[in-house]
Amino acid sequence: METKKVTFSEIIKPETVDLMLAPQDSKDDLFHHMIAMLFDVGAIGSKEEFLQAIYERESLGPTYMGEGIAIPHGKSCTVRKTAIAFCRCDEGFYYHTDDDGGEVDLIFMLAIPGEMSSNDYIRILSRLARLLVYPEFVDELRKAKDYDDIISSVEQYEPLLDQ
């Protein structure tokens, strides 16, 4: 039997995408907002535990990636299934990190189960991270009108990774 590959649309749901985020006063407010989205789709069992995992990762090094992008992520046993939340804030706001941080408008939050059973899930998270290196893909994310636009941009640009 052929094993089915995990697709991007399985780990990022319409309910975990917010394209109209208002500027956030603090990173903590942002994290609470995104964690609530992940909690509401059942991706995580405990908001508090996941927040702790996110901050543990923050303490290891900056998750601001430049070019307006931040990728906070947490690996924890409270994560029930691999998931991504995505927020876009057209006005932008400051994302603080231990070194400096920067202005962000695109934020991806990755929820990674403590016991990562399948490499397929890591692969899909890593493919998203790799796509963010391509300005043409990032432009599409900035122009996307809805969830479907985002998924179709990923599908359109994914072949870049296999060249």
Partner 1 sequence: MKIVAVTACATGIAHSYMAAEALKKAGKEAGDEVKVEIQGAMGIENELSAKDIEAADVVIFAVDVGVRNKGRFNGKKTVSLGPNEVIRNAKKVLQEVKANFEG
Q: Which residues bind partner 1 (CB under 8 A)?
A: 57, 60-67, 71, 73, 75, 99, 110, 112, 116, 119, 122-123, 125-127, 129-130, 132-134, 161
Smallest gap from residue 99 Cβ to partner 1 (A): 8
> Which among 73, 41, 38 is positioned nearest to 57, based on CA atoms?
73
Region for residue 35 given its phi and psi (left: phi exceeds 0; alpha: psi -120 to 50; beta: otherwise): alpha
Q: Which is nearer to partner 1, 148 or 156 (CB)?
A: 156
Minimum CB separation from partner 1 for residue 19, in Å?
21
92 and 55 in contact (C-beta within 8 Å)? no
Cα–Cα distance between 46 and 112 in angstroms, integer? Answer: 13
**Beta carbon of residue 29, minimum distance to partner 1 (angstroms, whole number):** 22
Shortest Å, Cβ 158 to partner 1: 12
Q: In this complex, which beta carbon is closest to partner 1, that of residue 17 or of residue 131?
A: 131
**β-bridge partners, 102:** 95
What span, in angstroms and rounded, lies between the C-alpha atoms of 136 and 151?
A: 15
